[in-house]
Structures are given as structure tokens and as C-alpha cells.
Amino acid sequence: MGDRTSVTLYFLASQKEKVDAILEDLGEEPQTQDVTAEDGQKLCAYYYDEVNYGTLEFLPELRAAGIAHESAWDSGGDFDEGDEYCRFTKEGGCLIKTVIESERSISIEIMMTMIHQPNALVDYIKARNEELNVLPWTNQAEYGPTYQAMQLISR
């Protein structure tokens, strides 16, 4: 037994067949919905209930298949809600970023310590924005195969 919650998996609609093939092999049958990302990309959203600690165990398989994704979980008894992002770079790298919802805001207490140091305050805000910034969905279908090729080369 574990702490269970709901999780939504997002990925590019153009990669639905690849995702479904992976999930079929694993016996996963989620509820599905088509959605549009903020940048206008068409996405699929797969919903899962009763996920142990909000962790979808098959995410490494999606990454290995070059499928960019986002896993968004609700809070549980022992953890806060959050998101894990997997994005690929043009150079074939893979960026995994986990952001807990409570970490999204900027601390007013910290900013107040810099109130008379405008340059430091601006630098702090820019650094926090960079920590939370996630690569957009654009080009992820093209960058995923580059990631896969780089994995083969590095073996």
C-alpha cells in the first residue's frame, strides 16, 4: 500500500500511436482527452487514478522512445502536487525538471531582503524564472529521435 493520488500525463498528439503501443505492452488503459497547450500544440491527456505516490512507473520507457511528456500529480497525504517535465534539446540532450507546486511562488520575505538592491532583486527574479521555465512543446517530435540517436552513439 502507498499514498495514492491522481496523475495526468500529457504528450504530443502526433505521438499518440507510439505512446499507446508502449502502454498496451504494459497493460495500461487510461481515460483520455485531447487538449491544447499554451503554445498551441495539440496534446493528449491521459488520466490515471490511484497512482502510488503519483509516480507513473513507465515514464522511463517514454523517455527512451523519444517522447516528450509532462506528468502532473495531485497532492497526497505525504507529498504536495507537482509536475515532472521531460523535454529534449536540439543537440539530443534530455532535460528532466520536477516542480512542486509550493515552489512556484517567489518568497516575499526573500524579495524584501533585496528591496534596496534593485539589481540583486532583478537577478533573483530572473534566476527563479529560469528554474521554473520549461522548454515548449515546439520541436519536441523532432528532437526526440535526436535524443535516441545520441543514446545509441554514447553506448
Residue 39 has which C-alpha cell? 503554445
Question: What is the per-residue pLDDT for 13?
Answer: 97
Domain count, the chain: 1
Q: What is the mean pLDDT of the chain?
A: 91
Rounded Cα–Cα distance for residues 81 and 142 (Å): 30
pLDDT at residue 17 greater than cutoff 70: yes
Rounded Cα–Cα distance for residues 115 and 102 (Å): 23
Which residue bears the cell 497493460? 27
**Higher per-residue confidence, 17 vs 101:** 17
121-134: per-residue pLDDT in tens?
A: 899 889 888 888 89
pLDDT at residue 136 greater than cutoff 90: yes
Please state the pTM of the whole predicted model.
0.87
Question: What is the per-residue pLDDT for 73?
Answer: 95
Contact 58, 19 (CB under 8 A): no
What is the residue range of 134's domain? 4-153
Residue 77 has which C-alpha cell? 497525504
**Residue 79, C-beta contacts closer than 8 angstroms, at least 6 positions apart:** 3, 53, 54
| pLDDT interval class at 58 (50, 70, 90) | very high
62-78 average pLDDT score: 94
